[in-house]
Amino acid sequence: MPMYNFKKITVVPTSKDMVNIMLSKTQRKTPTVIHKHYKISRIRSFYMRKVKFTQQNIHDRLTLIIQEFPKLENVHPFYADLMNTLYDKDHYKLALGQINQARHLIDNVGKEYVRLLKFGDSLYRCKMLKRAALGRMVTIMKKQAPNLVYLEQVRQHLSRLPTIDPYTRTILLCGFPNVGKSSFLNKITRADVEVHSYAFTTKSLYVGHTDYKYLRWQVIDTPGILDHPLEERNIIEMQAITALAHLRAAILYFIDVSERCGYSIAQQIKLFDNIKPLFSNKPLLVVYNKIDIVPLDQLSEENKKVLSVFEKENVPVLSMSTMTDEGIMEVKQTACDTLLEYRIENKIHAKKIDNILNRLHVAVPQNLDGKERPAFIPESVIQKRQQEFLDDVKRKLEKELEEELGDDYVLDLKKNYDLPEEYKYDIIPEFWEGHNIFDFITPDIFTKLQKLEEEEKLREDAGYYAVPKIERNETLSNIRKMARMIREIKSQRRQTALVEKTSNKPIIPRTTPARARERSTSCLRDTMTNLGVSMEGTEDAHFTKTRGRARSLSVRSKSESRPTKRIKTDIENRSASRSQSRPPRDESGVKNFAMKKKLKNIAHKAIAKKVNKYGLKGEADRFIGVKKPKHLFTGKRGIGKTERR
């Protein structure tokens, strides 16, 4: 069963856009540099490639347009006639035919110039042949400008058409303009069709969908039809005629009994007789609309006599009002049931049903002994069924209760719980103390609860839960007071320890007067004196770790008291920017000169290994090792640019 989705048709560009797209694609996707000193075979293939590429791109684009547009011979007759009505079948076919002819011409131009390029004897000759080929292709495409514009307009209009399935269950609404067809469609479906009080508000086909008996039904609203010959009808009316002629659907013919639409009942019946041939072999219903304005019993005798035609022809007649919603659901259900019966009858008369019937066999038991065996239903079952029937009759629906109570109605879902009245409105927790309540629900929970309550009562009577009385004397109060003091002291000590242990406490400088320094010159002198070491002659000693920048050491020998030659330390050779109290990074922690030199060699080898492997100039460098590779900067160039693609 084919489905028609015209929204997926590719956009048709104008001739100017088509030319720009194709030429720019050729420029981007093929090589662009050629020199006259190349071999002639290379020059020929260069330009032949451009001609072939352009011809193939245009061929593919035009083929896509031709294939995606529907062919009138392959689609359903409904869509074929609808497209003929909207776009003119001859014009549509002519446009596609000319696009197809342009495709063949472009293919021939490509083949012809590729053949000529095989005999090109110079760069200039090949270039001119390529220009001539592309120029002829562009000229052919420019001549198709009107056809491309027309096909784009057709594509846009096709994409806006509603998706109508010609094979599904369909209800078709027809009649004079402004008789209530669109209002009925809005009532029974979720469609939102524009509704106004003037004629021809609906100018095209509209589709809505509704559900009935678990099936999906397609409801089509057609534009209004006027009573005049077929050749005088306009495009809007012809859409309705096309749908009536080709869709297998249940027809609802609407009649405005109030004559507010601007046409009398006699004129509406005359239109019915005029288009009656379109109703043949289709279920038909006549719907009297707007009975809220003029009820059927208040119609004039003349109108009643005119409407009696439907009774003589055995056409089913229904009445409704889209304003008060009276009879709308009855019309919908009757139309669906009528169409369903019609489709089933057609399937029974068709040959397809025979295959299904041949698989079915109804077994009917035969009475061989002549005894009657009536069906036996126990009395208890009969009473139970009667009781259920009475309960169903007595019980009111929530909708009825809501209508009765009005604003006082409150939806109560717990009143139908199968529980005693005292437990119906209890709030049951899902989780309690980390446990799922549902895991502890048992059928005999009330019996167990009663036993537990009895046991608890016996324990209470026996004095199981009695608390011994403690005499409050002075000794007990003193003990409690001391315990409270002990707890307070422990808490204070704990907080003090936390404060002392923390790592972010402020560092107190050595010069602070609030606290005696733990390590000082006086402390060192006292400690050494107590140990028996003589500290005489050290009154002017400073015992500092660092030395000044200009300080020098005087070294005296044990035997001589005179000062020797001044020895310069490494401190004088250091950079002035570095702190004099710290050695360089590569010397810190290493006292042996030989070991220091060995470590420097090891580090140098590690860095060199890294540099050689990755082509780096240094440890943190990123550069190209060879700045001018020989294969790119040597040799002579011919005429032309030095750029490469």
Residue 282: band (very low, low, confident or very high) from pLDDT cuts 50, 70, 90: confident
Exposure letters 299-332 (e unless 16+ CB within 10 A, then b): beeebeebbeebeeeeeeebbbbbeeeebbeebb
> Which residue matches tokens 């401190």?
571
199: left (phi over 0), alpha (psi -120 to 50) or beta: beta
> In this predicted structure, what is the pLDDT of residue 622?
59
Residue 642: band (very low, low, confident or very high) from pLDDT cuts 50, 70, 90: low
What's the farthest any 2 CA atoms get from each other in the chain? 158
Q: Is the pLDDT of residue 99 over 80?
A: yes
Sequence-ordered list of residues with C-beta below 8 angstroms from that of 574, at least 6 positions apart, any chain: 580, 584
The secondary structure of 278-322 as a DSSP string is GGTTS-EEEEEE-TTTS-GGGS-HHHHHHHTHHHHTT--EEE-BT
> In this predicted structure, what is the pLDDT of residue 224?
78
Q: Round to whole Å and give the CA distance between 408 and 411.
A: 10
> In this predicted structure, what is the pLDDT of residue 259?
81
pLDDT per residue as tens digits for the range 610-623: 667 666 655 566 55
DSSP tag of 71: P
Q: Mean pLDDT over residues 247-253, rounded?
A: 86
pLDDT per residue as tens digits for the range 319-349: 888 888 888 888 888 999 998 888 888 877 7
Which CA distances in Å does 441 have to 186, 421, 437, 447, 544?
Answer: 52, 19, 7, 12, 82
Six token digits for residue 507: 């560092």
- If you average pLDDT over each of 87-96, 188-197, 359-368, 497-506, which comes out highest? 87-96
Residue 127: band (very low, low, confident or very high) from pLDDT cuts 50, 70, 90: very high
Residue 552: band (very low, low, confident or very high) from pLDDT cuts 50, 70, 90: very low
> In this predicted structure, what is the pLDDT of residue 300?
83
Q: Round to whole Å and give the CA distance between 288 and 202.
A: 20
pLDDT per residue as tens digits for the range 51-68: 999 999 999 999 999 998
Amino acid found at 203: K
Residue 40: band (very low, low, confident or very high) from pLDDT cuts 50, 70, 90: very high
Which CA distances in Å does 628 have to 91, 216, 558, 624?
Answer: 67, 77, 69, 9
Q: Round to whole Å and give the CA distance between 115 and 51.
A: 11
Residue 542: band (very low, low, confident or very high) from pLDDT cuts 50, 70, 90: low
> In this predicted structure, what is the pLDDT of residue 566?
44
How many Cβ atoms sit within 10 Å of the Cβ of residue 77? 13
Average pLDDT, the chain: 79
pLDDT per residue as tens digits for the range 195-233: 765 556 666 788 888 888 888 888 888 887 776 666 666
Six token digits for residue 486: 């002990």
pLDDT per residue as tens digits for the range 382-404: 998 888 777 666 677 888 888 88
Per the CB < 8 A criterion, the answer to whether 606 and 612 are in contact is no
> In this predicted structure, what is the pLDDT of residue 507?
56
Residue 629: band (very low, low, confident or very high) from pLDDT cuts 50, 70, 90: low
Q: Round to whole Å and give the CA distance between 204 and 226.
A: 15
The dihedral sign for the CA sequence 174, 180, 183, 188: negative
R_g of the chain, CA atoms, integer Å: 53
pLDDT per residue as tens digits for the range 567-592: 444 444 444 455 566 777 667 777 77
Strand partners, 435: 432
Residue 625: band (very low, low, confident or very high) from pLDDT cuts 50, 70, 90: low
Q: Is the pLDDT of residue 468 over 90?
A: no
> In this predicted structure, what is the pLDDT of residue 476?
83
* Helices (H), ranges, 168-253: 181-188, 235-246
> In this predicted structure, what is the pLDDT of residue 180?
84
> Which residue matches tokens 């000229």?
139
pLDDT higher for 138 or 418? 138
Query: What is the value of pTM for the model shown?
Result: 0.51
Distance of alpha carbon 549 from its chain centroid, rounded? 75
Residue 427: band (very low, low, confident or very high) from pLDDT cuts 50, 70, 90: confident
Amino acid found at 469: K
> In this predicted structure, what is the pLDDT of residue 134?
93
